[in-house]
């Protein structure tokens, strides 16, 4: 089975779960998947907005957490791990109806502590949010 097909199956399981991130992931489409790399797209809906009518920072942090976790799963040990650190820098706002492109790259995908970057851009390629996620692997 191709990496993309395998990761789409995993994403579908998360979308159907009762977990916190399922409400955000239900709008995410997986576009590309390869070892250590994930690319997704999502249209910003009302439930993703803050009081200013733009993508909520907490929603962005959840996207960083979830999409980088999928990138970690593409590595040889197939683990998502547990978060030990996550950060986000908010550069530009995404608005209602806008399609965002989410790319995650594993920086270090071996050992007990692993790292990934996530960039959230608009369709024009402008950086909206950038984040880093550190995971502990069992």
Residue 66 banded pLDDT, cuts 50, 70, 90: very high
pTM score? 0.94
Cβ partners under 8 Å of residue 28, min gap 6: 11, 15, 40, 41, 42, 63, 66, 67, 102
For the cut 90, the answer to whether the pLDDT of residue 55 exceeds it is yes
Contacts 24+ apart (CB under 8 A), 14-22: 14/66, 20/62, 21/62, 21/65, 21/66
For the cut 80, the answer to whether the pLDDT of residue 1 exceeds it is no
Across 68-96, average pLDDT: 93
């Amino acid at each position: 089975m191709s990496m993309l097909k395998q990761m789409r199956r995993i994403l579908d399981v998360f979308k159907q779960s009762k977990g916190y991130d399922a409400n955000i992931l239900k709008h995410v489409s997986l576009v590309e998947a390869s070892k250590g790399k994930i690319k997704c797209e999502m249209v910003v809906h009302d439930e993703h907005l803050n009081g200013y009518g733009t993508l909520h920072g907490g929603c962005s942090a959840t996207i960083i957490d979830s999409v980088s976790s999928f990138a970690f799963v593409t590595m040889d040990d197939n683990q998502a791990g547990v978060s030990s650190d996550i950060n986000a820098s908010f550069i530009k706002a995404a608005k209602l109806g806008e399609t965002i492109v989410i790319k995650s790259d594993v920086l270090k995908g071996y050992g007990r502590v692993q790292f990934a970057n996530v960039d959230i851009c608009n369709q024009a390629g402008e950086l909206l949010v950038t984040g880093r996620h550190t995971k502990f692997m069992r």
